[in-house]
Amino acid sequence: MRKNFVLAMVIVMLVGHASAGPEDFKTGPVFEAFGPVVSVPGAIVESDAVFKVAFDVADSADPGAINRRLESAARFLNMHAAAGVPTQNIEIAIIVHGPAALDLVRSGTNANADLVAALIEAGVTIELCGQTAAYRDIAAEDLLPGVTLSLSAMTSHALLQQDGYTLNPF
Protein backbone atom coordinates (compact mmCIF):
# COMPACT_ATOMS: atom_id res chain seq x y z
CA MET A 1 0.00 0.00 0.00
CA ARG A 2 2.79 2.41 0.93
CA LYS A 3 4.66 1.54 -2.30
CA ASN A 4 1.59 2.49 -4.33
CA PHE A 5 1.36 5.84 -2.51
CA VAL A 6 5.05 6.58 -3.09
CA LEU A 7 4.74 5.59 -6.76
CA ALA A 8 1.69 7.83 -7.15
CA MET A 9 3.55 10.78 -5.58
CA VAL A 10 6.54 10.26 -7.91
CA ILE A 11 4.21 10.24 -10.93
CA VAL A 12 2.48 13.42 -9.75
CA MET A 13 5.85 15.15 -9.30
CA LEU A 14 7.05 14.05 -12.74
CA VAL A 15 3.86 15.17 -14.44
CA GLY A 16 4.14 18.52 -12.67
CA HIS A 17 7.61 18.99 -14.13
CA ALA A 18 6.38 18.13 -17.63
CA SER A 19 4.05 21.12 -17.75
CA ALA A 20 4.77 24.20 -19.86
CA GLY A 21 6.44 27.29 -18.49
CA PRO A 22 6.27 30.89 -19.65
CA GLU A 23 9.07 30.31 -22.15
CA ASP A 24 6.90 27.73 -23.97
CA PHE A 25 4.23 30.29 -24.92
CA LYS A 26 4.56 31.51 -28.50
CA THR A 27 2.63 33.91 -30.72
CA GLY A 28 1.14 33.02 -34.11
CA PRO A 29 -0.10 31.74 -36.43
CA VAL A 30 -2.63 34.60 -36.78
CA PHE A 31 -0.86 37.30 -34.75
CA GLU A 32 2.92 37.27 -34.64
CA ALA A 33 3.16 40.14 -32.14
CA PHE A 34 0.24 39.34 -29.83
CA GLY A 35 -1.61 36.49 -28.15
CA PRO A 36 1.01 34.02 -26.93
CA VAL A 37 -0.30 30.48 -26.39
CA VAL A 38 1.06 27.03 -25.77
CA SER A 39 0.04 23.79 -27.44
CA VAL A 40 -1.68 21.27 -25.20
CA PRO A 41 -0.81 17.71 -26.22
CA GLY A 42 -3.86 15.49 -26.16
CA ALA A 43 -6.35 18.38 -26.14
CA ILE A 44 -9.17 17.73 -28.57
CA VAL A 45 -10.46 20.50 -30.80
CA GLU A 46 -12.26 19.39 -33.90
CA SER A 47 -10.95 21.10 -37.02
CA ASP A 48 -14.50 21.69 -38.28
CA ALA A 49 -15.54 23.49 -35.09
CA VAL A 50 -17.26 26.85 -35.55
CA PHE A 51 -16.89 29.60 -32.96
CA LYS A 52 -18.87 32.82 -32.52
CA VAL A 53 -17.53 34.38 -29.35
CA ALA A 54 -18.12 37.73 -27.66
CA PHE A 55 -15.57 39.16 -25.25
CA ASP A 56 -16.77 41.68 -22.66
CA VAL A 57 -14.02 44.16 -21.74
CA ALA A 58 -14.53 46.66 -18.94
CA ASP A 59 -11.16 46.71 -17.15
CA SER A 60 -8.60 49.14 -18.54
CA ALA A 61 -4.95 48.41 -19.03
CA ASP A 62 -2.30 49.82 -16.76
CA PRO A 63 -0.82 53.01 -18.23
CA GLY A 64 1.51 52.15 -21.12
CA ALA A 65 0.48 48.47 -21.13
CA ILE A 66 -1.58 46.34 -23.48
CA ASN A 67 -5.06 45.49 -22.23
CA ARG A 68 -4.88 41.76 -21.46
CA ARG A 69 -8.63 41.46 -21.97
CA LEU A 70 -8.29 42.75 -25.54
CA GLU A 71 -5.31 40.47 -26.09
CA SER A 72 -7.42 37.49 -25.00
CA ALA A 73 -9.17 37.68 -28.37
CA ALA A 74 -5.78 37.40 -30.11
CA ARG A 75 -4.91 34.42 -27.89
CA PHE A 76 -8.24 32.79 -28.77
CA LEU A 77 -7.56 33.14 -32.50
CA ASN A 78 -3.92 32.00 -32.24
CA MET A 79 -4.79 29.04 -30.02
CA HIS A 80 -7.55 27.66 -32.23
CA ALA A 81 -5.79 28.33 -35.53
CA ALA A 82 -2.71 26.52 -34.18
CA ALA A 83 -4.98 23.62 -33.17
CA GLY A 84 -6.23 23.32 -36.76
CA VAL A 85 -9.46 25.32 -36.72
CA PRO A 86 -9.72 27.41 -39.92
CA THR A 87 -9.81 31.13 -39.13
CA GLN A 88 -12.93 31.52 -41.28
CA ASN A 89 -14.68 29.32 -38.67
CA ILE A 90 -13.92 31.83 -35.91
CA GLU A 91 -15.94 35.03 -35.45
CA ILE A 92 -15.03 37.29 -32.57
CA ALA A 93 -16.67 40.45 -31.25
CA ILE A 94 -15.20 42.56 -28.47
CA ILE A 95 -17.62 44.76 -26.55
CA VAL A 96 -15.87 47.48 -24.55
CA HIS A 97 -17.36 49.63 -21.80
CA GLY A 98 -16.36 51.35 -18.58
CA PRO A 99 -12.73 52.37 -17.96
CA ALA A 100 -11.49 50.18 -20.85
CA ALA A 101 -12.96 52.77 -23.26
CA LEU A 102 -9.72 54.74 -22.95
CA ASP A 103 -7.84 51.79 -24.49
CA LEU A 104 -9.71 52.44 -27.76
CA VAL A 105 -9.02 56.15 -28.24
CA ARG A 106 -6.51 57.78 -30.56
CA SER A 107 -3.56 59.13 -28.64
CA GLY A 108 0.17 59.12 -29.09
CA THR A 109 0.60 56.98 -26.00
CA ASN A 110 -2.07 54.31 -26.50
CA ALA A 111 -0.18 51.01 -26.18
CA ASN A 112 -3.25 49.19 -27.55
CA ALA A 113 -3.32 50.88 -30.97
CA ASP A 114 -1.29 48.20 -32.78
CA LEU A 115 -3.22 45.38 -31.11
CA VAL A 116 -6.58 46.95 -32.00
CA ALA A 117 -5.45 47.46 -35.62
CA ALA A 118 -4.26 43.85 -35.87
CA LEU A 119 -7.51 42.50 -34.40
CA ILE A 120 -9.63 44.55 -36.79
CA GLU A 121 -7.45 43.52 -39.75
CA ALA A 122 -8.06 39.88 -38.74
CA GLY A 123 -11.83 40.46 -38.87
CA VAL A 124 -12.53 40.99 -35.18
CA THR A 125 -15.39 43.41 -34.48
CA ILE A 126 -14.66 45.93 -31.73
CA GLU A 127 -17.56 48.01 -30.39
CA LEU A 128 -17.52 50.69 -27.74
CA CYS A 129 -20.60 51.15 -25.60
CA GLY A 130 -22.23 54.42 -26.62
CA GLN A 131 -23.37 55.06 -23.07
CA THR A 132 -19.77 54.82 -21.85
CA ALA A 133 -18.59 57.02 -24.72
CA ALA A 134 -21.14 59.70 -23.81
CA TYR A 135 -20.26 59.51 -20.11
CA ARG A 136 -16.53 59.83 -20.88
CA ASP A 137 -17.03 62.48 -23.58
CA ILE A 138 -15.57 60.23 -26.32
CA ALA A 139 -16.74 61.01 -29.87
CA ALA A 140 -16.64 58.55 -32.78
CA GLU A 141 -13.74 60.49 -34.31
CA ASP A 142 -11.74 59.96 -31.09
CA LEU A 143 -11.74 56.19 -31.62
CA LEU A 144 -8.99 54.13 -33.19
CA PRO A 145 -9.71 53.27 -36.84
CA GLY A 146 -12.24 50.47 -37.25
CA VAL A 147 -13.72 50.70 -33.74
CA THR A 148 -17.47 51.35 -33.86
CA LEU A 149 -19.96 52.81 -31.40
CA SER A 150 -23.02 50.85 -30.32
CA LEU A 151 -26.07 52.09 -28.47
CA SER A 152 -24.86 50.25 -25.38
CA ALA A 153 -22.80 47.24 -24.33
CA MET A 154 -26.03 45.60 -23.17
CA THR A 155 -27.56 46.09 -26.62
CA SER A 156 -24.49 44.69 -28.36
CA HIS A 157 -24.44 41.57 -26.18
CA ALA A 158 -28.18 40.99 -26.65
CA LEU A 159 -27.86 41.25 -30.44
CA LEU A 160 -24.79 39.01 -30.52
CA GLN A 161 -26.59 36.37 -28.45
CA GLN A 162 -29.48 36.46 -30.92
CA ASP A 163 -26.90 35.89 -33.67
CA GLY A 164 -25.53 32.79 -31.94
CA TYR A 165 -22.51 34.26 -30.13
CA THR A 166 -21.47 32.91 -26.75
CA LEU A 167 -19.97 35.09 -24.05
CA ASN A 168 -16.40 34.25 -23.15
CA PRO A 169 -16.42 34.12 -19.35
CA PHE A 170 -12.72 34.91 -18.83
CATH number at residue 153: 3.40.1260.10
**Residue 1 forms part of a structural domain:** no
**Residue 12 forms part of a structural domain:** no
**Residue 11 forms part of a structural domain:** no
Q: What angle do CA 107, 63, 139 make, to 5 degrees?
A: 35
Residue 98 scores a pLDDT above 90? yes
**Residue 13 forms part of a structural domain:** no
Rounded to whole angstroms, the Cα distance separating 135 from 95 reads 16
* Closest among 93, 163, 162 to 129, alpha carbons compared: 93
**Residue 116 forms part of a structural domain:** yes
Average pLDDT estimate for 74-100 = 96
Average pLDDT estimate for 110-130 = 97
> How many structural domains does the chain have?
1
Kindly give the residue spans of alpha helices, DSSP state H, lying in the chain. Answer: 2-17, 68-82, 113-121, 130-135, 153-162
Who wins on pLDDT, 9 or 63?
A: 63
The radius of gyration of the chain from alpha carbons, rounded to an integer in Å, stands at 19
Residue 7 scores a pLDDT above 70? no
The model's pTM:
0.85
**Residue 4 forms part of a structural domain:** no
Residue 54 burial (C-beta neighbours within 10 Å; 0-12, 13-18, 19+): buried
Residue 8 scores a pLDDT above 80? no
**Residue 155 forms part of a structural domain:** yes
Who wins on pLDDT, 8 or 80?
A: 80
Who wins on pLDDT, 108 or 117?
A: 117
**Residue 107 forms part of a structural domain:** yes
**What share of the chain has pLDDT > 90, as a percent?**
74
Q: What is the pLDDT of residues 158-168, one digit of tens each?
A: 999 999 999 99
Q: What residues make up the domain containing 139?
A: 21-168
Q: In which band, very low, low, confident or very high, does the pLDDT at 39 lie, cut at 50, 70 and 90? A: confident
Q: In which band, very low, low, confident or very high, does the pLDDT at 19 lie, cut at 50, 70 and 90? A: low
